[in-house]
Amino acid sequence: MTAEQVAEYLRNNPDFFVGRDELLRSLTLPHDSGRAISLVERQVHLYREQRDTLRHELVELVSIARQNDRLFEKSKRLLMQVIEARNLTEMAAAIDDSIRGDFGLDAASVMLVGGELPAGSTTGALHVVSEADAEKNLGALLDGDRAVCGQFREADRNFLFPGRDEPVASVALVPLRTDRLIGVFAVGSCQPGYFDQSMGSLFLSYISDTLSRLLPPMLQRHRQVEPVLDAVAESR
């Protein structure tokens, strides 16, 4: 019989050594220390290695779960503030405060694309750009509906986070969509490797999905209120 045939037989008959204790004790295997050990000792050693590996994986899973709990609580607080915002200015302030204060990141940007507001308007984290400028500067980043993470080009980072004294080095971006593209939500860090393509984006997508639903009615209210405010200002 070949060694492979023996191995196949043992795989098909895992109870072969039951009642053959003497045979088990007579089998020896080389150990890392250089001495020979019995098959039982080798099994115990393998079980211990497996136990240690599973314990390490469990510790990692618990750590990830705790981190996700913290992210969920921060996301919940942010979204509650955004929902309670009465206008675009309050919404932009809530996002900026939460991303920089609660999440500990360096920058946030909600960039609206289109004609609802005058292009070039800026209020805190809120920026308004034309479709042409968005396409020119962000291009393919606008095509999908999932988060994109990385260092991006310098021109892209400056476009998303204009007027910063300390440049953003790493970015996570999610397009905001309804039946069309209405903008992008981006967060930035001054650490070059903070965001990368392997980073999970569940909570970022969760926030962007909520913004995509809240922004259209808020923009509608803004269009209705703005002419009234302009008329009041002209009458004074």
Tokens for 65, please give them: 């779960």
Q: Are 112 and 32 found together in one domain? A: no
Q: What is the pLDDT of residues 71-85, one digit of tens each?
A: 888 888 888 888 888
Of residues 107, 185, 108, the one with CA closest to residue 146: 185
Same domain, 160 and 122: yes
12 domain residue, yes or no: no
pLDDT for 199 equals 59
Give yes or no for residue 228 having a pLDDT over 60. Answer: no
Residue 4 lies in a domain: no
For the chain, how many structural domains are there in total?
Answer: 2
Q: Which of 52, 84, 116 is the last residue of a domain?
A: 84
The label of the residue with tokens 């302009």 reads: 230
Do 39 and 63 lie in one domain? The reply is: yes
Which residue range is the domain that position 44 belongs to? 20-84
The reply to whether 79 and 140 lie within a common domain is no
Q: Are residues 56 and 91 in the same domain?
A: no
pLDDT at 234 over 60: no
User: Residues 35, 147: one domain?
Assistant: no
- Check residue 198 and give its pLDDT: 57
Residue 32 predicted with pLDDT over 70: no
pLDDT value at residue 88: 82
Domain boundary pick from 47, 64, 84 = 84
Question: Has residue 29 been placed in a domain?
Answer: yes
103-124: per-residue pLDDT in tens?
888 988 888 887 556 565 667 7
Q: Which residue in the block uniquely carries the two structure tokens 């209705």?
A: 224
> Does the residue 9 lie in any domain?
no
Concatenated DSSP letters of the chain: --HHHHHHHHHH-TTTTTT-HHHHHH-EEE-TTSSEEEHHHHHHHHHHHHHHHHHHHHHHHHHHHHHHHHHHHHHHHHHHHHHH-SSHHHHHHHHHHIIIIIS--SEEEEEEESSSS-TT-EETTEEEE-HHHHHHHHGGGGT-SS-EEE---HHHHHHHSTT-SSPP-EEEEEEEESSSEEEEEEEEESSTTSS-TTS--HHHHHHHHHHHHHHHHHHHHHHHHHHHHHHHHHH-
Give yes or no: residues 24 and 55 share one domain: yes
Residue 114 counted as domain residue: yes
Q: Cα(225)–Cα(140) distance, rounded to whole angstroms?
A: 34
Q: What is the mean pLDDT of residues 186-190?
A: 90
Mean pLDDT of the chain: 79
Average pLDDT rounded to a whole number, residues 122-145:
81
Q: pLDDT tens digit string along 137-172?
A: 888 887 777 788 888 888 888 888 888 888 888 888
Chain position carrying tokens 């004074």: 236
CATH classification at residue 144: 3.30.450.40
Same domain, 64 and 96: no
Q: Based on the fold, state whether residues 95 and 153 are members of the same structural domain.
A: yes
- pLDDT grade for 235, boundaries at 50, 70 and 90: very low
pLDDT band at 206 (very low <50, low <70, confident <90, very high): confident
Query: Does residue 139 form part of some domain?
Result: yes
